[in-house]
């Protein structure tokens, strides 16, 4: 069954390349999101929301380092590839800041909306990559991606909680 083996080898190489390309995409996204989180922290009305953005900035920094470890485990140099989806979501963050009043809770409701779109994009990406990683020879990678995924989900939940606790009501009451 030599031909089949050769075929499997090709598939594995193609899969490796494909996976690395997706890593480059999310690596770019994490790096640029950090800039977005800085902007969101500065723009937030509530100190609590500003602190949440600060916290996720630090988490994103660690996630970036984890991605670098994954590149290394795959025998690759960390490289970025522009992620058009994240670029668009970060443009929406800027538009949200432009379209809402400074020091208002509508601003914060808007920032939460924009930030949750980002988190859901990350959840989708890491969820799929984690599932694909089961087929990589380095079994550790799946667990590392699962760790990042759990962090993104927690961030999303924290944002929902803040919206429900006070931000949305303050935004609606004015
Ligand atoms: Fe992230
Ligand atoms: Fe995130």
The secondary structure of 111-154 as a DSSP string is: HHHHHHHHHHHHHHHHHHHHHHGGGSS-THHHHHHHHHHHHHHH
Q: How far is the CA of 60 from the centre of ligand 1 (A)?
A: 5
Exposure letters 135-150 (e unless 16+ CB within 10 A, then b): ebeeeebbebbbebbe
Confidence at residue 2, expressed as pLDDT on a 0 to 100 scale: 45
Measured in Å, residue 30 CA sits from the centre of ligand 1 at: 5
**Ligand 2 centroid – CA 60 distance (Å):** 6
Ligand 2: centre distance to CA 152 (Å): 5
Supply the DSSP symbol for 104: -
Residue 9 CA to ligand 2 center (angstroms) comes to 35
| pLDDT tens digit at each of 174 positions of the chain | 444 545 555 555 899 999 999 999 999 999 999 999 999 999 999 999 999 999 999 999 999 999 999 999 999 999 999 999 999 999 999 999 999 999 999 999 999 999 999 999 999 999 999 999 999 999 999 999 999 999 999 999 999 999 999 999 999 997
Q: Which domains are delineated in the chain?
A: 2-173 (1.20.1260.10)
Name, in order, each residue with C-beta under 8 angstroms of 67's C-beta and a sequence gap of 6 or more.
Answer: 23, 26, 27, 30, 78, 148
Cα three-residue angle 62-108-172, rounded to 5 degrees: 150
Predicted TM-score (pTM) of this structure: 0.92
Ligand at shortest distance from the CA of 55: 2
Cα of 125 to ligand 1 centre, how many Å? 10
Q: What are the phi and psi torsion angles at 83 (to 5°)?
A: -100, 105
Per-residue pLDDT, 3: 46
Question: For residue 29, which ligand has an atom nearest its CA?
Answer: 1
160, 80, 79, 158: which is closest to 113 by C-alpha?
160
């Amino acid at each position: 069954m030599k031909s089949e083996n050769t075929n499997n080898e090709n598939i594995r190489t193609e899969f490796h390349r494909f996976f690395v390309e997706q890593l480059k995409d999310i690596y770019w996204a994490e790096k640029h999101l950090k800039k977005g989180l800085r902007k969101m922290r500065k723009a937030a009305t509530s100190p609590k929301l500003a602190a949440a953005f600060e916290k996720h900035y630090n988490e994103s920094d660690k996630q970036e380092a984890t991605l670098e470890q994954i590149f290394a485990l795959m025998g690759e140099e960390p490289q970025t590839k522009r992620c058009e989806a994240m670029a668009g979501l970060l443009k929406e963050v800027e538009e949200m800041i432009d379209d809402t009043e400074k020091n208002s809770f509508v601003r914060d409701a808007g920032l939460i909306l924009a930030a949750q779109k980002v988190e859901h994009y990350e959840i989708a990406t890491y969820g799929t990559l984690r599932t694909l990683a089961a087929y990589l020879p380095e079994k550790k990678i799946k667990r590392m991606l699962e760790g990042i995924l759990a962090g993104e989900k927690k961030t999303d939940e924290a944002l929902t909680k803040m919206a429900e606790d006070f931000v949305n009501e303050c935004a609606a009451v004015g």
